[in-house]
Structure 1
């Protein structure tokens, strides 16, 4: 499934570009993520714990930066893993494009091509997209705080993130789903003969 999002960072594009290439430094911005070993060539082994509804999913796998086109300000990350318990798998290719925005801000568009099997596949595209959107908003806020606060992250390979706040993620995702339903029923009708 393809999930597209957009976020803005209150920092110049060159600073955001540098921050987004530092995978170990980004780990604290990804709730539930942990890098366990640097494999080499921008490849890292790690684990992710996340929640979809009432289910906690634990994956182990490899993440890597596969493309960094500075002239186009385009980054491509790939991650693949399998459930620690269970037969589920997850694979994602994430493409980020940066563009200068107004007032010294940077606009980042994100396309996530996500393939899941096992327990995660039981949840609909809408819930997965909503949880992804919530996590991405938190990620954007964290990246902005790092740039405008303490600066770039470290390069240590054993970096542990704060655990994912299951309740806040679930509530935010549920509110997004509710807004989508309300728009569907109260928005303009698309049926023939209705305006």
Structure 2
């Protein structure tokens, strides 16, 4: 499934670009993520634990910075892993394109996500909504790191707020409700 999200960071594009290049430095901004091994060459092994309602998903896998084009400010990351209990797999290619917009940096994210197992049972809408909630948390953390001088691992480590299952579920449910209300009460797109 293809999920497209965008977010803004209140910092110049060069600072956001530098921050997004530092994969180990970004791990504290990803709720439930942990690096377990550095293979070198921008390739890492890690674990991700996410809980949504009664379901806790634990994935172990490898993430790699596949492409980094400074001329177009485009990053491509690939991550693949499997659930620790062996019930599911996830494979994601994420492309981030940065652009400068009035002193801020807009980041357009496109995720090609293939999942199986318990996570796949939530459906595309819920997965997209949860991804949106987690990306907003990620963006806030990246901005806080930049503003506190934490780029490149030289400053204070800023951690993402731990995303609780309840807050993710409520936020995703509100997003789904807004989508439904827009369908019924929004402007008609019919000719």
What is the TM-score when the length of structure 2 is the normalising length? 0.92
Q: Distance in 2 between matches of 1:81 and 1:54?
A: 21
User: Aligned with 1:124: secondary structure?
Assistant: helix
Residue of structure 2 in register with 1:70 after alignment: 70
1:51-130 to 2 correspondence within 5 Å? 51-102=51-102, 104-130=103-129
CA positional deviation for 1:86:
3.3
Larger relative contact order (Cα-Cα within 8 Å, sequence gap ≥ 6): 1
User: Aligned with 2:39: secondary structure?
Assistant: strand
Count of residue pairs brought into register by the alignment: 187
Structure 1: gaps spanning 5 or more residues: none
CA contact 1:100–1:107 (8 Å) conserved in 2: yes
User: Aligned with 1:123: secondary structure?
Assistant: helix
Residue of structure 1 in register with 2:18 after alignment: 18
Structure 2: gaps spanning 5 or more residues: none
When residues 21 and 56 of structure 1 are mapped into structure 2, their CA distance, relative to the original with a 3 A threshold, is same
CA contact 1:31–1:165 (8 Å) conserved in 2: no
Residue of structure 1 in register with 2:174 after alignment: 175
CA contact 1:73–1:97 (8 Å) conserved in 2: yes
1:135 aligns with 2:169: no
Moved over 6 A (4+): none
Q: Distance in 1 between matches of 2:148 and 2:106?
A: 19
Give the aligned CA root-mean-square deviation in angstroms: 1.8
Residue of structure 1 in register with 2:46 after alignment: 46
What is the TM-score when the length of structure 1 is the normalising length? 0.90
Cα deviation, 1:87-132, whole Å, max 9, x if unaligned, reads 2000110000011111x11111000000000111111100000000
Q: Distance in 2 between matches of 1:47 and 1:6?
A: 25
